[in-house]
Amino acid sequence: MDQMAALELRSVDLQSSRNNKEHHTQEMGLRRLIVRRGQSFGLQLHFNRPFHFGTDYLTFVAETGPAPKELLGTRATFSLTQARKGNVWSAFDFTIDTNSLLVSLFTPANAVIGPYTLKLEISQGQSHSVVHPLGTFILLFNPWNAEDDVYLPSEILLQEYIMMDYGFVYKGHERFITAWPWNYGQFEEDIIDICFEILNKSLYFLENPSKDYSQRNDPVYICRVVSAMINSNDDSGVLQGNWGEDYSRGVSPLEWNGSVAILRQWSARGRQPVKYGQCWVFAAVMCTVMRCLGVPTRVVSNFRSAHNMDGNLTIDTYYDQNAEMLPTRKRDKIWNFHVWNECWMIRKDLPPGYNGWQVLDPTPQQTSSGLFCCGPASVKAIREGEVHLPYDTPFVYAEVNADEVIWLFGNGQAQEILVHNTSSIGKEISTKMVGSDQRQNITSSYKYPEGSPEERSVFMKASRKMLAPRRASSPFLDLLGSGGPEDQPAQLQLHLARTPEWGQDLMLTLRAWRVPDRVHSRGSISLAVRFSAQALLHQGGTREPLWRQTVHLNLDFGKEIQLPLLLPYDNYRNKLTDEKLIRVSGIAKVEDTGRSMLVLKDISLEPPHLSIEVSRRAEVGKALRVHITLTNTLTVALSNCTMVLEGSGLIDGQISKNIGTLVAGHTIQIQVDLYPIKTGRRQLQVLISSKEIKEIKGYRDIFVAASRAS
């Protein structure tokens, strides 16, 4: 009998289209193979003759990283068998069809993620082997797989936290929360490559590439690397932060619509940090990267967020007798809002009970193990005050739980405590609701109800742990037990008399009434109230006062005074930041005792609103006319207006348009034709920016149908 001809590989079909659909990666494209770990995928090999199991030996080799080694988990060698052998690299479940071989490959649920090369070694008996390249594939985390550390057992949640490529970032102020539409765009075809570029630019990779690759099976490790790489404080990270007001060398953080333009610019310009980002931009870009890699991720906003650098769980704020909020040299601040991420994963490095959502914060605030990154910190650990658990839990705990102490400052020193707030920090913690455009308040996942016995008990536990290194006594622990300022003889409140709109005078009302106290009992009192208004900065600071007023009141017991206050538009016209926030402060001095009281009101000015209408049913490849309408409701013209449209699946990249000057009181109508690219739920984001107002934003949800045969 003639010896059988040597088995030779003629071609290979990686079956990218079928595999990608089964692995929930079809949105990234069907031209190349992108699969998730812990799940098998098929390929078809075409030979010169039929394959004979038992005499033809096939060995597959998968490799990733710069110096693949089996010991490091970056190289796997596995032979064709009839059945899978457990959670290990396997080739199995094959079907012979004349000269073709259909075979399933399995990657373990703890495999290193990344781009792989796949080779096939063919041998017969003792004869020498021949190696054939089969191609490349990308391996991602698999939250659909129960063996993966990022497993999320809910299809509804997976559709939101992995598959949804748009969403909202919540900004503004706890009483004036604004939903900002954002294009995550994690499935745009080049984004996955940029995500791995980011990992390959990290300091961990540059210091020890093989070790770095070997740890890429661990979502905790990947999250920390990405958290450090989204900012550029230590490395060639994606974004450069800028909390000043000069953005002339780049793009204002307010003028980004989504992550795709930022990531593409970083990659195209030789991995130079993109200018500029602030917290919501950092967090939104990290959400894109983590969802792309396969880690369930959401963007979370914390209103009145403490930046407690010295770890003492108090933020001190100072006012002078003229009600002016004073700058402080201390780095401690209360940000109007701060935005971070939560990623879903098992924490094998922690005791049981701390799996699930973990805080990751890519905004560069303080170093962690020498780099500007933060997390993962277990949300459950934050709620229970377990601040000793890694990573960076004390810092995040303080962001949502610190106490605020407001002091009256004079003659070079703090003179008296005006307010000790135990519940003013960590308000309205928010994220996008699953399957909806609504906002979800998730404050209760971070802490027990303010003032409840559980909340104070957890706070004292965390305080003892965080303040223990400072020895037995601390001014803060003494303050906690002191009960704060004494009873005040009056109550003061500031209210808005009408909706505040940018370009209009602001109308406020001061309400004041007597309450009994130990000194005055029920007698009348005289108050001198000094008011100050200042532009409020995102990071919690203020500018010079833009308005002052002093009023004198006589308060009788049982009577309430309501006093109108007018803050003219001309006073704030050129004095505000892009956020358009004003803090009105009042210090009331009781004339016969010298004691002081504080009243505060933060005002967010409404910009004009956009209207976006779509004329007809949206279909892939068919012109879709969009009507955008903006009325300038201000008393001044909007100059140098530009419009940017973005939306993954609707637009390839961005559409930009200069629209000139919009005169006060006038309406502009713009028509744009889109040619949708992908089916399914999509979101169109529209930003109109002018010299006067940087952010007039709108969005429209659009369902795109498959094209009908003409």
Distance, CA of 41 to CA of 16 (rounded, Å): 9
Q: Are 687 and 669 in contact (CB under 8 A)?
A: no
Distance, CA of 367 to CA of 374 (rounded, Å): 8
Which one of the listed residues 223, 279, 287, 343 is annotated catalytic? 279
Q: Are 332 and 305 in contact (CB under 8 A)?
A: no
Which one of the listed residues 148, 235, 332, 361 is annotated catalytic? 361
Only one residue has tokens 């990022």, namely 150
Residue 450 labelled as part of a binding site: yes
State yes or no: is 132 an active-site residue: no
Question: Which residues in 205-330 belong to E strands, given as ranges?
Answer: 239-241, 274-277, 297-307, 314-319
State yes or no: is 307 an active-site residue: no
Tokens of 421: 């707030």
Q: What is the 3-state secondary structure (H, E, C) of 8-53?
A: CEEEEECCHHHHHHHCCCHHHCCCCEEEECCCCEEEEEEECCCCCE
Which one of the listed residues 24, 173, 307, 338 is annotated catalytic? 338
394 Cβ neighbours under 8 A, 6+ residues apart: 311, 387, 462, 465, 466
- In 529-648, which ranges are continuous DSSP H helix? 569-572
Residue 208 labelled as part of a binding site: no
Tokens of 69: 């080694």
Q: Are 336 and 201 in contact (CB under 8 A)?
A: no
DSSP symbols for 62-123: EE-SSS--TTTTSEEEEEB-SS--SSS-EEEEEEEETTEEEEEEE--TTPPPEEEEEEEEEE
Residue 189 labelled as part of a binding site: no
The counts of H helices and E strands in the chain are: 14, 37
Which of 388, 307, 291 has the alpha carbon at shortest distance from 344? 291
Distance, CA of 61 to CA of 279 (rounded, Å): 43
Provide the greatest CA pair distance for the chain.
121
How distant is the alpha carbon of residue 201 from its chain centre? 21
Residue 22 labelled as part of a binding site: no
Q: Are 251 and 265 in contact (CB under 8 A)?
A: no
Distance, CA of 166 to CA of 73 (rounded, Å): 34
Q: Classify strands 525-536 and 581-590 as parallel, antiparallel or unpaired.
A: antiparallel
Side-chain half-sphere exposure of 245, counting CA atoms within 13 A = 14
State yes or no: is 361 an active-site residue: yes
Distance, CA of 290 to CA of 239 (rounded, Å): 16
Side-chain half-sphere exposure of 20, counting CA atoms within 13 A = 17
- In 319-474, which ranges are continuous DSSP H helix? 379-384, 393-401, 443-446, 453-467
Q: Classify strands 356-360 and 377-378 as parallel, antiparallel or unpaired.
A: antiparallel
Side-chain half-sphere exposure of 200, counting CA atoms within 13 A = 15
Output the known binding site for Ca(2+): 401, 403, 450, 455
> Mind telling me the catalytic residues?
279, 338, 361
Output the known binding site: 401, 403, 450, 455
